[in-house]
Amino acid sequence: MATADSISDINRPATRSGYALLVLVAPLPPEQLESLLSRLMGLIPAEELLIATQNGIATDAYPALQIVAAPATNIAWTLTAADFVNAHQLAQKHQARAILMLGPDSGSLSPAALHDLAAAVLSAGTDLALPHYDPEPHAGLVNSAILYPLTRGLFATRARFPLAVDLGLSLRMAERLASAAQRFIAINQSDALLWPVSEAVVAGFTINEYDVGSRPLPQPADPDIRSILAHVTGSLFADIEVKAAFWQRPRRLAPARPSMPRHPYSDGPSDVASMIDGFRLAYTNLQEIWSLVLPPNSLLGLKRLSVVDAASFRMPENLWARIVYDFLIAYRLRTINRGHLMGALIPLYLAWVAGHINITDSGADAERHIEAVAAAFDADKPYLVSRWRWPDRFNP
């Protein structure tokens, strides 16, 4: 893995030290990069701004900016352990006081969004500045079904996108993430995922969230939901296991932030019927595996769900929360092979998706449903804590 030690300057023989803001930009098409750089120039005086990018830029293209070459990484759809290590090393080398990390397709971010994320960490009042995206109703559903409600339920944070691809970091937040990343770098897993929200909560750092509007969220090279779900959810489960001593203690959930008006979207037709058929087939074929993971009450709930007609199909929020918590327990205990465990979760997740689509297609607000799901995770946390401490005991 390339590190910041090998970075050479592009625009000048040597850059000075002591910048206010270091901006790391993931590789972008030239036209997106040009637009983004013009927006960044409006954030703060150019002499206080240092840009690091993997794009090759002509030495005289932006004479007003200090631009250095960012280390090459395999960033494709989200930030990785290597990206956080590189960010901290660059900030140290150039004595930057705050960092803005912008992921793939960040050229679509508005000047206001860039300003809010950067200003938050430049003010010294925020350690982790998170974007609150305005996604289409049927987009980012792994986040809506699992990542957001699970992070909220355990760490008592309302961060809507805990795996956001654009972040503002204070210097101490960058140091914390780089330290967490080193354990993956040491075992040659530089592309491992990190969870900035849980790291900030455990450290007692300040988190703030900012509406940034709609943004095309980058997608993995392999769009197969099975690999995405296994990779992302497995990574979050592992992070939760590491931080178990922290999240088992009671914490008060922060008040809800004022919600911004969301843009109306009209998604195309979704193949709800095939998702429901897949769930029903799995209910027939995966009984033995599910019975190793889920308690009798949950199995009974799935039995009832398996005979609901497609138009009325909906995964109850409390049943879904209980399923995810029990899969987390099974992950910790290695009840079955972890790969097989994640495979057994997929038809249940798709059943949740089918129900969510039915709800939103009926005219209900997507965010209202997602918030109801998150509230169910909040309410059922005592069940998880009990099972974590006494894993052999199924609640009746």
* pLDDT, tens digit, 9 for 90 and up, residues 215-269: 888 777 667 888 889 999 999 999 999 999 999 999 999 888 776 655 555 555 5
List Cα–Cα distances, 317 to 103, 224, 321, 373, 386, in angstroms: 32, 25, 6, 5, 20
Q: Is the pLDDT of residue 41 over 50?
A: yes
Structure token digits, residue 225: 């939901």
Nearest to 241 by CA among 335, 331, 144: 331
Mean pLDDT of the chain: 89
- pLDDT value of position 261: 58
List Cα–Cα distances, 74 to 189, 190, 282, in angstroms: 12, 9, 35
- pLDDT value of position 3: 40
pLDDT-based confidence at 102, cuts 50/70/90?
very high
The span from the first CA to the last CA of the chain, in angstroms, equals: 50
Please indicate whether residue 392 or residue 43 has the higher confidence score (pLDDT). Answer: 43
Q: What structural domains and CATH numbers belong to the chain?
A: 7-247 (3.90.550.10), 272-389 (no CATH)
Residue at 115: amino acid letter: H
Q: Is the pLDDT of residue 13 over 70?
A: no
The stretch 48-71 carries a mean pLDDT of 84
Print burial letters for 182-193: b (CB count within 10 Å at least 16), e (below 16). eebbeeeebbbb
Q: Is the pLDDT of residue 331 over 90?
A: yes
In whole angstroms, give the CA distance from residue 305 to residue 332.
27
pLDDT-based confidence at 16, cuts 50/70/90?
low
The 167-170 sheet, strands edge to edge? 66-69, 49-53, 21-25, 98-102, 167-170, 128-133, 207-213
In whole angstroms, give the CA distance from residue 191 to residue 186.
12
- pLDDT value of position 61: 74
Q: Is the pLDDT of residue 336 over 60?
A: yes
- pLDDT value of position 129: 98
- pLDDT value of position 58: 61
In whole angstroms, give the CA distance from residue 21 to residue 12.
18
The stretch 197-212 carries a mean pLDDT of 97
DSSP of 268-295, one letter per residue?
----HHHHHHHHHHHHHHSHHHHHHHS-
Query: Could you read off the pLDDT of 43-57 as tens digits, one per residue?
Result: 999 999 999 998 877
Nearest to 211 by CA among 134, 264, 105: 134
In whole angstroms, give the CA distance from residue 72 to residue 239.
26
List Cα–Cα distances, 45 to 64, 92, 321, 373, in angstroms: 10, 20, 48, 44
pLDDT-based confidence at 173, cuts 50/70/90?
very high
In whole angstroms, give the CA distance from residue 303 to residue 296.
10
pLDDT-based confidence at 135, cuts 50/70/90?
confident
Contact 113, 30 (CB under 8 A): no
Beta bridge mates, 207: 128
The percent of residues in the chain predicted with pLDDT above 90, rounded, is 71
- pLDDT value of position 269: 57
Contact 122, 184 (CB under 8 A): no
Q: Is the pLDDT of residue 168 over 80?
A: yes
The stretch 333-359 carries a mean pLDDT of 96
pLDDT-based confidence at 5, cuts 50/70/90?
very low
| DSSP secondary structure letter of residue 6 | G
Query: Could you read off the pLDDT of 71-84 as tens digits, one per residue?
Result: 887 767 889 999 99
Nearest to 283 by CA among 307, 262, 266, 267: 307
